[in-house]
């Protein structure tokens, strides 16, 4: 079952595409976090969604908010993906143990070995304040993220 609005977001520590450790708890008390799970680096829909997030980065990843994207790809694949697509925000590797963080949020697709398109807005206290879950082929609307984050930090 997916994490619900009002629940404490499961903490995690993952490596980003530059082998830097990133933990959700490191933002507690400082920034809201937009946590975006996506199935696979280099896939068409994921590439478009993450490029749209890059275009909106200034509105999402700033003094009040942080943008973190998570997939079950390896850190090495994420490094090449971020360089190829010019993605300057953290792409976190939930590679091993495979999909543990996606599982803790209730959005791991066991049959395909990937995260579903789950998005969670986490406030500075670590509570989930907004979320949306999309199936694998469904594209997310970045405008919804921006609006939810603006409401949270207003």
CB count in 10 Å sphere of residue 13: 12
Q: Is 46 among the residues known to form the active site? A: yes
Determine the 3-state secondary structure of 140 from DSSP.
coil
Catalytic residue among 24, 33, 34, 46: 46
Least Cα distance to 91 among 55, 51, 121 occurs for 51
Least Cα distance to 105 among 93, 119, 91 occurs for 119
Residues marked active site are found at 46
């Amino acid at each position: 079952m997916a994490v619900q609005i009002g629940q404490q977001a499961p903490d995690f520590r993952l490596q980003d595409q530059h082998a830097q450790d990133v933990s959700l708890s490191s933002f507690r008390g400082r920034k809201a976090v937009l946590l975006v799970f996506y199935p696979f680096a280099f896939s068409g829909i994921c590439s478009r969604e993450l490029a749209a997030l890059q275009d909106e980065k200034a509105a999402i990843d700033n003094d009040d908010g942080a943008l973190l994207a998570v997939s079950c790809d390896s850190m090495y694949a994420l490094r090449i993906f971020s360089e190829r697509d010019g993605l300057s925000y953290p792409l976190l590797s939930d590679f091993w143990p495979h999909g543990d963080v996606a599982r803790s949020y209730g959005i791991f697709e066991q049959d395909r070995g990937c995260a579903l398109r789950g998005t969670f807005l986490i406030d500075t206290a670590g509570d989930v304040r907004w979320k949306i879950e999309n199936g694998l082929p469904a594209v997310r609307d970045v405008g919804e993220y921006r609006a939810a984050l603006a409401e949270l930090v207003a």
